[in-house]
Copies of this chain bind each other. A is one copy, B any other.
Amino acid sequence: MAWTNILTDLLKVNYPIIQAPMLGVSTPEMAAAVSNEGGLGSLPVGGLSPDATKQLIRTTKSLTNKPFAVNLFAHNIPSYSEDDLEPMRKLLLQLAAKRGYDLNAADLSNFKLYNYLDQIDILIEEKIPVVSFTFGCLDPDSIEALKRNACTLIGTATCVEEALYLQQQDIDIIAVQGIEAGGHRGTFIEDMPLPQIGLFSLLPQIKKAVRIPCVAAGGINSARTMKAAVELGADGVQIGTAFIGTEESQAIPSYKTRLNNAKDTDTALTKAFSGRWARGIRNEMMNEIEQAGIPIPPYPLQNSLTAQFRKLAQQNNDIEYTTLWAGQSAVRTTLTQSKDIIRNLIEGYEAL
């Protein structure tokens, strides 16, 4: 990977290294630190209100004058009845009481659900140079409006068919998400079993199928893994888990400690937290919800149902009842600053 290539040209950065957008973990400080170091920071705003979106963007801008990406969730909001949510509400109230948390029925209803259409105008007003997204593809009008405003678009694919669809919709760059990746699967083609394709198989096949640049995501945490991704056809890399332990991360201390002690077999895919498949370290909340035998409402409903419970757990530094998103390559590290992670990768790569 040359440090100057088609990807650095498109993104206007020095290094084709993207900090993965991790909602609940990434912060304006993290995105700015990565962008200031010459990579591309990412600010996740999926599902947030327009006001919160604007405020996070403004904060990030106050910390860097380099380009950064804003990350959207391109999902649809499913129709639902209150009755559909009752069994899960009951379960969550039981689990919270058992764990000693003061969770109320009111915390599990009347939530306001936003989608990205509420945020597009703000991104254009704020002249965001790169918009990345997952869980689907933006609608044609939004794509057209963003591109008319000089915005570069990155879509997420977990199989060849999704990559081809994104290319056809005029998206500029594909984030190729291997099964190794932590957090939510970007999968959006729904009439088939969840694709669970390792990066080693997925990246060469997507690279061969599309003509636009590809960014490798999942399992990358070192100069050598970057180099391997380049051999498989990557024009750049996206790195998430390695940033969870940094000072700029919102992760609670016990989550950072747990991650630093993670084994290769500790993560699992689950719908328990959000209603969408995501990879995290197995914990009690995941197990209890999966084993309860009641249907898990689809995203973003389950995500909203579990939100206050997870917030209470986080306030108590309790890793058993919050999300512990992590990829399959969590490694023990002493690097605690986002800028050092970028610097370390660059220096290591140049020394290969």
User: Which residues does A use to contact B, with CB under 8 Å?
Assistant: 159-161, 178-180, 192-193, 195-202, 204-205, 218-220, 222, 224-225, 227-229, 231-233, 263-265, 268, 327-329, 331
Contact = CB atoms under 8 A, between A and B. Distances in A.
A160 B263 contact: yes
B222 A200 contact: no
B160 A264 contact: yes
Classify the interface of chain A: helix, strand, loop or mixed: loop
Nearest to A234: B228
A265 B161 contact: yes
Contact of A198 (B160, B178, B227, B268): B178
B233 A224 contact: yes
B193 A268 contact: yes
Given A263-B160, A265-B159, A225 B200 contact: yes
Nearest to A200: B219
A201 B228 contact: no
A303 B88 CA distance: 40
A228 B226 CA distance: 10
Contact of A196 (B196, B222, B331): B196
A264 B201 contact: yes
Contacts of A201: 180, 218-219, 264, 327-329
